[in-house]
Amino acid sequence: NIDSVGWPICGEIDIMEQTGANKNKILGTCHWSANGNNASYGLESDISNASSEFHVYSMEWTETYIKIFLDEVEYYEIALNNDLPFNKDFFLILNVAMGGTLGGTIDSGFTEDTMEIDYIRVYQ
C-alpha cells in the first residue's frame, strides 16, 4: 500500500542489505512508522566472499515473527504485533546500498557493477 499511505507507514522488509562501503557485512532490517518518523530494527552479519560466491538469503515470515537467515543460519528476528504494518503484501528487497548514510561515498571512478541472483522462491 505504498501508493496510498507512503513510506515508512507502509513498512519495508529488507531481506538483505549490503553497504557499498563494506561488502563483507549484510543487514536484515524492518522499517515502519512511529508517529510519522522512520522506525527500524536491523541486525548485521559478517560474510566473506559476498562478491565472489553465491549465498542463500532467506526469510520466514509468519503472523508472529520475521526471521532472516544467511546460508541457513538465523541472524535476525523481530516479533510482530498489530502496531506494525507487516500483515500486507510486500516487495521482496535485496539491496546493495550506494551513496547516502548506508552506502557511503561512491568512488568517483565507479561506472557500473552487477548483482547476480540465481533464483527467488516464495512458499506459502
Is the distance from CB of 50 to CB of 23 less than 8 angstroms? yes
d(CA 114, CA 110): 12
Q: What is the pLDDT of residues 73-117, one digit of tens each?
A: 999 999 999 999 999 888 888 988 888 888 888 889 989 888 889
Q: What is the pLDDT of residues 23-71, one digit of tens each?
A: 889 999 999 999 889 999 999 999 988 888 999 999 999 999 999 999 9
Element (H, E) at 3: helix 2-5
Global pTM value: 0.88
Residues labelled as active-site residues: 12, 17
Is the distance from CB of 88 to CB of 13 less than 8 angstroms? no
What's the length of the chain? 124
Is the distance from CB of 66 to CB of 75 less than 8 angstroms? no
